[in-house]
Amino acid sequence: MKRSLSIIIIVLILDQALKVWIKTNMYLGQEFQVIGNWFIIHFTENNGMAFGLELAGQWGKLFLTLFRILAVGLIIWILHRLISIGANKGYISSISLILAGAIGNIIDSVFYGVVFNESTFQKATLFPEGGGYSGMFYGKVVDMFYFPMIHGHFPNWFPIWGGEDFIFFRPVFNIADSAITIGIFLIILFYRKHFDMELKKEPEPVVDGIKEE
């Protein structure tokens, strides 16, 4: 339990601290280079899912935010279940990373529209006098990590994108997205066998504070 809570708290603190710094020190679209042309801090916002994917419209945005909240509730139940049955610690840590990332982006979606004003052509203010840029549940997720490591050109014969330029890796993301991705990859690489097996276990019965053998 302590390891899981530590992971969640650390990820959330880092994620939110960086997002608040970005919002209050940069305007939308501003960027600066960290390492050459392939690691850039680029301030952008999105209405939707990880790596800039989104559902269109206000209803799409509301649906996605509510879906995230329900998903977090499910992950919390799974995590509690895994801890109660004494599941593999690495597996629990991976689920904790996914949960922390999901909560991090939910905070943006639920509260940022209320506590920040618009970032277009200006640095946002925390708790502005005139109110935020949107209502509760309609906040935008703050992204900043951009790794355009490879620039290239699709050959003319290539389907759909023939003749167009391409950049790898194009999506802009944040610490919460990274935590979710790392957690999923750890499960796929090392803990696939635990995915169903652990949840099917029954907690060991406890009699007078002592587990039955």
Q: One of 143, 165, 196, 208 is an active-site residue; which one? A: 143
Taking only the tens place, the pLDDT of each residue in 6-20 is: 999 999 999 999 999
pLDDT (0 to 100) of residue 192:
80
pLDDT (0 to 100) of residue 212:
47
Q: One of 15, 108, 177, 208 is an active-site residue; which one? A: 177
Say whether 143 is catalytic: yes
Taking only the tens place, the pLDDT of each residue in 80-123 is: 999 999 889 999 999 999 999 999 999 999 999 999 999 999 99
Q: Of 146, 144, 145, 147, whose CA–CA distance to 119 is shortest? A: 144
Say whether 208 is catalytic: no
In the predicted model, is pLDDT for residue 42 greater than 80?
yes
% of residues, the chain, pLDDT over 90? 62
pTM: 0.82
